[in-house]
Structure 1
Amino acid sequence: MTRTIQQLFDLRGKNALITGGSRGLGLQMAQALGEAGARVMLCARKADELEQACATLQDAGIDARWVAADCAVEADIQKLVTETLHRMGDIDILINNAGATWGAPAQDHSVAAWDKVMNLNVRGYFLLSQLVGKHSMIERGGRIINVASIAGLGGNPVGLNTLAYNTSKGAVINFTRALACEWGQYGINVNAICPGFFPSKMTAGTLAALGEERLAALAPLKRLGDDEDLKGITLLLASAAGKHITGQVLAVDGGVSALVGG
């Protein structure tokens, strides 16, 4: 007998690990999973922000906890996986969301800044996925959702110099496709979400430089993303409703990536 739509989207009994989960897009995605019944583990670098985010989720009736870790540091990633497995059990859903950006003209971009972006945005995704796969998912299946960006699909408006960030998110997109093909045999679905412009601490510089109104005007829907716009796609990709979706990249950007030359 086929499941109802409510059953397909039900995440009760599932454990989710969300990096960069203390604010912004990561916290929004954690809320979506928790509201559907999942237990969530938030990860970020700052304990005070994690405590506040966890309290917000718990006040909404969500089973939430946290681990402070820097996902650019291999030892921290190992600690994160060990603690999550110890405190929650097997990880059913992994959201790779922790990220960094850097703004500078290509000719002036420092190697240190380039390495910082790549270590967190690409190497960190690989190391965490590898550990979660080996210790939790390969024997039992699971869902991995990588947060990329529409910046990984092409270039930028004039004045937005984020070469390392764009390059890293392009790498995340093909990392997603390649890992989906390799790990499909284990029942692991791997997909990527490419957000457009969402107001956040990370995008504050971009919004200030280019202007919120200008960026909103670029989108066919004439708006920026808000604190609900990733919840639906996150739940789809994390739940049984998305069990036949893998290796896919979906832009959530108000239509910006659909524009010719956009």
Structure 2
Amino acid sequence: MTKLVSLCIYPLTQSMLLCLIGILVIAVSVRGRLFGLLVQALAMVWLWIASTALFADALMASLEADARPKTVSALPDAQAIVVLGGVDRGDVHFGTLPDLHHAADRLIYGAKLFQVGKAPLVVLSGGSRDDERPEAERMRDIMHVIGIPDEALLLERNSRTTEENAVYAAALLGNKGIERVLLVTSGYHMIRAQRWFEKQGFDVIPAPTDFQVILVKPSVPRWLPTAQDLARTTRALHEYAGLAVQAVK
């Protein structure tokens, strides 16, 4: 449901629909030409705004505000480290490892927490679509490269949403008596993830990573559009859609 709701508010989707509406209005009515042109102009303006660092940073900062990073030493110990999926694009034809993207920070941070002894177990949570290999298995491949032993890894292979991450993790860890977990996910995703895990009875210690508002000066002025900033805006709007759906459940 979250994915369907968020699809409707994606800037690119909205802009394409507005352009199509404008074209149809112009095509069916000579009198509607001005209105049709205004609708198309609105589509371009919205797409421009959504593609700027100014707008993307503002949205991401609002989501990351309550997910302040802590030094590893400041985090308390837990019974397990839960690393949420969404870290790769999947297996590739000409490679032995999955293709990672920005959220792969989750794996690196989870591995670091294990290496310094914050918990004896790392839970990798992520399922699959159709006939794909479960993401938890792909995450395990990366963890092996980092140096995390197989006996320290527990795979949750069924979840496809954040809510399912929590539900299936609870089913997996409940029999082991594990309640106190370090939850590793992206900073902008932490609010929603923590709520779902707490709803399942976990004592959650937030361990956010993959922060999207960075200090590095952008390569282009912040008011100019880029594909990267459009992607960040889209992720932020998806997260707000997820929070909205969560609020009514």
Q: Report the TM-score when normalising by structure 1.
A: 0.39
Kindly indicate which of the two structures has a greater share of residues assigned to helix.
2
Q: Which has the larger radius of gyration?
A: 2
* TM-score (normalizing by structure 2): 0.41
Higher RCO (C-alpha 8 Å, min separation 6)? 2
